[in-house]
Amino acid sequence: MSSLPIVPSPLQQSLDCVRDLIRTVPDWPKPGVMFRDITPLLQDPAAFRSLIDLMVYRHMRQRIDVVVGIDARGFILGSALAYALNVGFVPVRKKGKLPHQTVAQSYELEYGNDTVELHIDAVKPGQRVLLVDDLVATGGTMVAAIKLLQQLGGNVVEALAIVDLPELGGSKLIAKTETPFFSLCQFAGD
């Protein structure tokens, strides 16, 4: 008796495609760091479309009011996602890059501190927000963005990333904010 081969679902094939196109660059930006580069994923039209489709499929029934993308690769993902979900897009920028009155949140990095900002009118109280970035490592930037959105009265429905590096603790830090977090794939190490 023969058995049929197990064929991966289109969803699993899309997830595998996303993960396979993330390039690992050893020792960048400093020795010992394994940098996860999404550039090849963005350069492949079919893979980029699959990536956005996966994100849209996950969120299309969640009544999202606005997508917020974190400087800078979150802008690429967030803009495409906002377009596909037919909602507005808001950028979380590094300090000093926004021209209007802002709210700011500082956070710690492995090598110092940084600050991100939002316009004071970027999100209205009660709006359902989807927060997007490419990768979560230590989680500082994502948590700072969550705090800014909460300060403005936004309801962060989910923090979303392509890649999670769980060993660096960022997803655990996000969990402490009681914000749901989802990543499309994980990589071991840093």
Domain of 148 in residue numbering reads as 62-186
Residue 40 has pLDDT above 80, yes or no: yes
CA 187, 49, 27, 137 torsion-angle sign: negative
Task: Please confirm, yes or no, whether 93 is among the known catalytic residues.
Answer: no
Which residue among the candidates 36, 73, 93, 117 is catalytic per the annotation?
A: 73
Residue 9 has a pLDDT of: 63
CATH number for the domain harbouring residue 167: 3.40.50.2020
Residue 4 has a pLDDT of: 47
> What is the distance between the alpha carbons of residues 94 and 98, in angstroms, rounded to a whole number?
8
Residue 143, in any domain of the structure: yes
> What is the distance between the alpha carbons of residues 124 and 16, in angstroms, rounded to a whole number?
37
**Residue 117 in tokens:** 């900002």
Residue 2 has a pLDDT of: 44
Residue 71, in any domain of the structure: yes
Task: Please confirm, yes or no, whether 23 is among the known catalytic residues.
Answer: no
Residue 189 has pLDDT above 90, yes or no: no
Which residue among the candidates 49, 108, 110, 167 is catalytic per the annotation?
A: 110
Residue 110 has a pLDDT of: 67
Q: What is the mean pLDDT of residues 65-76?
A: 97
What does pTM read for this prediction?
A: 0.92
Q: What is the mean pLDDT of residues 16-27?
A: 91
Residue 38 has a pLDDT of: 97
Residue 7 has a pLDDT of: 45
Residue 187 has pLDDT above 70, yes or no: yes
Residue 100, in any domain of the structure: yes
pLDDT in tens, 124-155: 999 999 999 999 999 999 999 999 999 999 99
N-to-C CA span, the chain: 47
Residue 14 has a pLDDT of: 74
- What is the tally of structural domains in the chain? 1
| Under 8 Å between Cβ of 133 and 116 | no
